[in-house]
Amino acid sequence: QQQVKQSPQSLIVQKGGISIINCAYENTAFDYFPWYQQFPGKGPALLIAIRPDVSEKKEGRFTISFNKSAKQFSLHIMDSQPGDSATYFCAASFSARQLTFGSGTQLTVLP
Amino acid sequence: DTEVTQTPKHLVMGMTNKKSLKCEQHMGHRAMYWYKQKAKKPPELMFVYSYEKLSINESVPSRFSPECPNSSLLNLHLHALQPEDSALYLCASSQQTGSNQPQHFGDGTRLSIL
């Protein structure tokens, strides 16, 4: 019940396209859903986060969509750029519990 | 540049060596974390310190020994490691433990055990 399932494992998108990464969870106690971006040789960097009382949050080209009833949330990257090529991790947590990470999505944006 | 600084960036050690990884943050955060990350996998939590006290140990083998000398520093002492311990070791910090507290990661120490 602590798992967060992430898909797809890898994603290839053309420059200017939309990248979509999906996550699903079972534990309805989760109340914080961050997305992390990790480049090779670097640590994960917080990209954007959402709480379940909102259905969508947008920061620049990055949008989180949240569907509480379906227990799913997704990351949309608009106008994808080669510089967005990285590994993306969704995560979830609640109360004083620690982050539960998804398995990761390796995104490649072709020039 | 990351606000969580980890040293060294790379470390190669034999199975009988003793070494330490260091982590420093000056954001006034009172929670600090050690994670282990294998290639193409998500970070796995090892230890959590809250207000300089160990609050979570995720059943980590005793060959890994954490230490929090003060609110800005976190060490991970290594002794008699195994080849399967080769990984990227990440330090992170947050204002406090608990949900809704963004964790800020360092760039890690790439550890190789010969």
User: For the segment A28-74, what is each residue's pLDDT rounded down to a tens digit?
Assistant: 989 999 999 999 999 999 999 999 999 999 999 999 999 999 999 99
Length of chain B: 114
Q: In this complex, do A51 and B100 lie within 8 Å of one another by their Cβ atoms? A: yes
Q: In this complex, do B105 and A44 lie within 8 Å of one another by their Cβ atoms? A: yes
Average pLDDT over residues A2-19: 96
Nearest-Cα distance to chain B for A98, in Å, is: 7
Q: Is A2 on the interface with B (CB under 8 A)?
A: no
Q: Which residue of B has its CA nearest to A97?
A: B98
Nearest-Cα distance to chain A for B7, in Å, is: 13
Q: Which residue of A has its CA nearest to B40?
A: A104
Is residue A47 a contact partner of residue A107, using CB atoms and an 8 Å limit? no
Query: Closest by alpha carbon to B78, among B91, B61, B93, B56?
Result: B61
Hey, how many other C-beta atoms are within 10 angstroms of the C-beta on A10?
12
pLDDT digits (tens, 9 = 90+) for B19-58: 999 999 999 999 999 999 999 999 999 999 999 999 989 8
